[in-house]
Amino acid sequence: MDKTLKVGEVIVNRLGFGAMRITGEGIWGPPKDHDEAIRVLKRAVELGVNFIDTADAYGPEVSENLIHQALYPYDGLVIATKGGLTRGGPGMWTPDGRPEHIREAVEGSLKRLGVEQIYLYQFHHPDPKVLFETTLGSFFELQKEGKVRYVGLSNVTTEQLQAAIDMGKITSVQNSYSVLNRDSEAVLEICEENDIAFIPYFPIGGNTGGLSEQTLQAVAKKYSATERQIGLAWLLQHSPVTLPIPGTGSVAHLEENMKAADIVLDADDVAQLDSLAG
């Protein structure tokens, strides 16, 4: 199993960090413990993370600001962010795919992160009120202007991904996907065929309970690991293009997550886990 993956021009370690949960409850406002959030970001880099995913909607703005405070000038790091979702309060997310909003969003992210170019800028969520190609076109325009180096997608269908590939170079896709949730399996297959990094979020998300949960628990026990660690290990072994981004606001939880990269599941256990689909 290769522990690295090329994203654009940079080789990154295949366990990244998702910076959504360094914000407040409901992904709204500042974290309860600001200093711990800073420690989490710094410790992630110490543990070998060099791909960090965030979004302007996390907080909103809080996650990007914390990343700047903790990690700027990002030596050796890929900071990927997203635009296209707005917030109305804790747990409230509203797509906004208007090109004028995307342009405003990227300018805000550039300022908060303190950079002149965002290495990987991702279309956070398609907006049913705006033609997908219209929104995505604004990302490619920003790329031509040099404000964005590479373009990625998030929360897309196979049809949307194929439409995007027809429009230009897509570097990454970020969808919910796990050992218990294979709804995006076909999206992953397209990514494999086109050398696109697939960034799964919610690493053990999906239908839980019954046989699936029992099997996951049994495999975890065999390796003296947590179910989350097994879910991450399975993601790393399931496809060479996966780039999981487990997130947390706790250093202890972060360190636990990162140990998943050292777990090598045997063929029988991989087969058992492959058979689970939520």
- The CATH number given to whatever domain includes residue 85 is 3.20.20.100
Please, are residues 204 and 195 in contact by the beta-carbon 8 Å criterion? no
3 state SS of 200? strand
132 belongs to a structural domain: yes
d(CA 246, CA 1): 19
DSSP 108-177: HHHHHHT-SSEEEEEE-S--TTS-HHHHHHHHHHHHHTTSEEEEEEES--HHHHHHHHHHS---EEEEE-
Percent of the chain residues topping a pLDDT of 90: 93
Supply the DSSP symbol for 259: G
User: How high is the pLDDT of residue 159?
Assistant: 98
9 belongs to a structural domain: yes
266 belongs to a structural domain: no
270 belongs to a structural domain: no
254 belongs to a structural domain: no
CA 79 to chain centre: 11
User: How high is the pLDDT of residue 173?
Assistant: 98
Write the CA distances from 231 to 37, 105, 205, 253, integer angstroms: 24, 33, 9, 15
d(CA 262, CA 216): 18
Which of the following is catalytic: 58, 150, 177, 201?
Answer: 58
List pLDDT tens digits, range 56-87: 999 999 999 999 999 999 999 999 999 999 99
The residue range of the domain holding 138 is: 4-207+238-249
Percent of the chain residues topping a pLDDT of 70: 97
Q: Which of these, 159, 88, 92, 97, lies nearest to 122 by C-alpha position? A: 97
**Assign residue 74 a region: left if phi > 0, alpha if psi is -120 to 50, beta otherwise?**
left
The answer to whether residue 58 is catalytic is yes
- The tally of domains found in the chain comes to 1
What is the pLDDT of the chain when averaged over all its residues? 95
What average pLDDT does this structure show over 87-111? 98
Q: What are phi and psi of 176, to 5 degrees?
A: -70, 130
Task: Please report which helix (H) or strand (E) contains residue 231, including its range.
Answer: helix 227-238
3 state SS of 10? strand
In this model, does residue 243 exceed pLDDT 80? Answer: yes
Q: What is the CA radius of gyration of the chain?
A: 18
User: How high is the pLDDT of residue 210?
Assistant: 62
User: With 0-12 CB in 10 A as exposed, 13-18 as middle and 19+ as buried, what is 86?
Assistant: middle
22 belongs to a structural domain: yes
139 belongs to a structural domain: yes
222 belongs to a structural domain: no
